Amino acid sequence: MTKSDVIDGIQKYYNTFSPTECKVADYVLRYPNQVIEYTVKELANNSGVSEATIVRMCRHAGYDGYWHFRTMLAREMGAIGEGEKANDGQLNVVNNIFTRYADIMLNIGNKIDINVMRSCVELINDCNEVHVIAAGDTGTLAQHMGFLLGRVGIKATQSGIADYYINTINLASKEDVLIAISKSGITKNVIKGVELAKEKGLKIIAITCYVNSRLAEAADYVLLAQGDSTRFDYYKDYNHLNVLAVIEALLDLLKNWDKIAEKQADRLELLLSEAKL
């Protein structure tokens, strides 16, 4: 199928779908821009059908499965490929890459709840010690974050090795905070660390790309690091740009929290003075 066939294809095969498959098709036709952001679980929840029904509908429409379907839909809606059009040589190609990165950063900022971010900053500032955990290639981000926390005066441990951080969490106190990093939100060793932390009574901050993941569901606070909808297969995605951006933003707030709080207090005082007048 070409990238212009997705919506037309759904309409073409619509009469061959089962009633539940039609519910999925109706939702996709009505909200295509939202669907390209959804995992299969999110689409199932929003359309009111099972995940298996979604997969069947995609296959009946001519796709290998949901991920193949969503990739092609994203192309049709312009979510993939627009930033890769070169107009005048290599310089434009490079500019387009950075423009796409800038769009991703703005998208992440729009998706993060400022109240959740504020709560995370306050929690970290008030805790006894922070334990940052990750696994696999994401383990380097745990090391980076642990280093940055130390630079702003926050006592922290960090590790991408399960045996190490399981032991650290086991020795932690209720006044400690766990920051768990997993793009997929289903990394087994990270989930084990989170489960142990919950048993120990620690507060948990999750940094993940999937809000409906096991990690997000287990955490007290979730910082969503989903910046675009072009990278669907997290098992093959080694780009840490999204997660790193969230880490840097959180640390930037930690470094400047006193100044931010002071400005907010000054603004509130000014508003109260104006109200009295």
pLDDT tens string 6-48: 888 888 888 999 999 999 999 998 888 888 888 888 899 999 9
Pick the CATH number of 6-76 from 1.10.3720.10, 3.40.309.10, 3.30.420.10, 1.10.10.10: 1.10.10.10
Which top CATH class is 112-264?
Answer: alpha beta
Residue spans of the domains in the chain: they are: 6-76, 84-110, 112-264
- Long-range interactions of 161-169: CB distance < 8 A, separation 24+: 162/135, 162/189, 162/192, 162/193, 165/131, 165/133, 165/193, 166/192, 166/193, 166/196, 168/131, 169/131, 169/133, 169/193, 169/196, 169/197, 169/200, 169/202
What tens digit of pLDDT does each residue of 155-200 get?
999 999 999 999 999 999 999 999 999 998 999 999 999 999 999 9
Give tens-digit pLDDT for 230-271.
Answer: 444 444 556 788 899 999 999 999 888 776 655 554 554 555
State the pLDDT confidence band at 74, using cuts at 50, 70 and 90. Answer: confident
- For the whole model, what pTM was predicted? 0.64
92 band by pLDDT with thresholds 50, 70 and 90 = low
**For 55-77, what is the mean pLDDT?**
87
Mean pLDDT (whole number) for 101-116: 85
Predicted local confidence at residue 235, as pLDDT: 47
